[in-house]
Chain A
Amino acid sequence: MGINNASQLLRLILSDRLLCFFINKNAIIKNLLISLIISTGICISIFISPATYSAQIIANANVTVLTQSQLRRIFSMRQRYWSDKQKIVVFVLPSAHPLHQRFSKKDLGIFPYKLDRIWAKLTYSGLGTAPIVVQSRQALINAVMSTAGAIGYAEDITEMKEIYVITIKD
């Protein structure tokens, strides 16, 4: 009896441990599977989704695609003409405007104060001209729409007849 009881108890303990093991094993496998799915999702979203930009680049010129380097050259006034020889007219918002700050840092990869310095050096030394500063997002869109060869930036704009929303290639 004693032996039987003992063997039953042992079986019970073993089965409990086994059960726990299986329960834990399932949990571990489940957690591993969840982690794997999440990390795969993150990886897929990183590698597959297109680069995100904080602003939309708009232009009143016969151009639909620019590289980020071209964008940097245009806004730092190193490229002053479009490929068809038309003069580029750059419009921007005031330096402290949140959209300008985001555009400068994220889309151009240039700190806003550096842009200010580049433009001030051109303007006050005679070497060139600075972008034209307008006071609001709507004024910027209007200025680009009404100026041949113009480029600027906006948010949440749909393509219009007078304006191109430019795709930026990395």
Chain B
Amino acid sequence: MLLQSKTRIMLKILVCAQLLMLTTDLCAEEEIDPDLQIHGFIAQGIVKADGSNFVNDDGELSIELTEVGLNGSYQLTSSVRLTGQVTYLEGGNRYNDGIRIDYALLDWSVYHTDNWQINLYAGRFKNYHWLYSGTRNVPFTRPSIILPQSMYHDGFRDTALGGNGGDLKISYSSDTSGNFDFNLSSGAIPLSKAQTQLVFSELALGRLKHLDGLQTSLYWQPAFSSWRFGLAFLDTSFEYVAAEEGDIFLDATLKLQHSTVNALYEGEKWEFAVEAFQGRINLKGFYLDSYHQEKPGQGYYAQFRYKIENSLTLLARYEKYYADKEDKNGQNLQQTTGGLVPSYFGYQHDITLGFSYDIAEAFRLQFEYHNFEGVARLTPVAAPNVALNNSKHWNLWAIQLMYWF
């Protein structure tokens, strides 16, 4: 175990060194090729969650807070571009570790004028619809190390990240009415056995398949305004195919619907963001052939950031999440499970305080402290560990150093 940990640390150092060498090479390059762009990021942190298995089962200090990415973009013709990003992530119990293709796209600029820009993207696209979803695994673009779990549930991270298919983006810019951005994407993401077990626990021997997903959003920024407003809608369905032997679960279908509203204010010193959602989870089968459960979930957060100076930003966030908005205190959950699942598994509220400090250009240190009440956003999503999460109140702190180029 210790050897494995040391090997992992050595591997991380090696990857970081390689990326830094690549950066140096890129910076040393004098010739500018406007058609080719290469960028990347490296981040390593430490995290500790007291009173829950959000990060790890033993609650000890963890270095499983690694995010590395490398992307490239090449302009094939004046209107067609090829782009892709590979990431390596480690997040403990939050999501599956390993290398993955984050996005791989053929970008076709279909129509463009001074005011209109229409693009079609084909391949593996990302979820461009929520405030931080497009770059949720890029540390320096996030307001915090751990994003608000009501909206950005790490347990569903891979399924919410994007899909294989197509995306249409229409942007309109007007001097009088402002900027409009419309996005429509459709596709599905292949899920591994490990990702299946992150949702349904290790007892699930079958495979979860993402059948289809449709997402759309509309953003509006009034002309010359610091405000931006958005609406987003998601409709997606999954199928669980039980293993032929030894699987205690049965075939099932899972449908998710998710409506979101958000607002963002970015002033010179102050920033304010609010995002609220209402969702519906519909599960048929799985436990029994006749089993049918429908839960209307609800959540929101309000986030403030203040720039003391250009390099130092403070963060404060207040968040509420209810797994079932008709059972906000979780009493019904506790009763229907005969007391096996405590009521605090029905919600998860969070107060976050933190700061980020830019040590140098493209080099940042971020710290945050979370105080949680409830454990409704843990993994495995469908069967969280009741024995390990025996506390209604728990907290987490994390510190992460990040570099990008």
Contact = CB atoms under 8 A, between A and B. Distances in A.
Partners in one complex: yes
Contact of B117 (A79, A87, A96, A143): A79
A54 interface: no
A113 B112 CA distance: 27
B243 to A, nearest CB: 35
B121 interface: yes
A125 B134 contact: yes
Interface string B20-47: 0000000000001010010101000000
Interface string B96-114: 0000001101010100101
Interface stretch (B167-175, B276-284, B382-390): B167-175
Contact of B78 (A67, A87, A96, A117): A87
Interface residues of A, number: 37
Contacts of B140: 120
B136 to A, nearest CB: 9
B169 A127 contact: yes
Contacts of B102: 126
Contacts of B117: 78-80
B244 interface: no
B361 A125 contact: no
B268 A111 contact: yes
A73 B223 CA distance: 12
Contacts of B39: 123-124, 130
Interface in A40-91: 67, 69-70, 73, 78-81, 83, 85-87, 89
Contacts of B128: 125, 127
A98 B361 CA distance: 14
B127 to A, nearest CB: 9
Given A89-B34, A124-B135, A129 B81 contact: yes
Contact of B266 (A94, A111, A126): A111
A19 interface: no
Contacts of A130: 37, 39
Given A96-B361, A125-B135, A132 B103 contact: no
B73 to A, nearest CB: 5
B71 interface: yes
A69 B175 contact: yes
A150 interface: yes
B113 to A, nearest CB: 8
B71 A86 contact: no
Interface in A108-129: 109, 111, 113-114, 117, 120-121, 123-129
A162 B134 CA distance: 39
Contacts of A69: 173, 175
Contact of A80 (B32, B83, B112, B121): B112
A121 B228 CA distance: 15
A132 B32 contact: yes
A134 interface: yes
Given A79-B114, A87-B78, A109-B224, A123 B34 contact: no
A90 to B, nearest CB: 9
Contacts of B179: 78
A78 B134 contact: no
Given A121-B141, A124-B141, A143-B32, A132 B37 contact: yes
Given A109-B224, A114-B266, A143-B32, A126 B83 contact: yes
A109 B117 CA distance: 22
Nearest to A126: B103
B71 A126 contact: yes
Contacts of B135: 120-121, 124-125
20 contacts: A78-B117, A80-B117, A85-B112, A89-B34, A94-B361, A96-B361, A111-B268, A117-B266, A120-B140, A123-B37, A123-B73, A124-B138, A125-B138, A126-B71, A126-B102, A126-B125, A127-B119, A129-B37, A129-B73, A134-B32
The 3 lowest CB-CB distance pairs between A and B, nearest first, are A125-B134, A126-B103, A124-B138
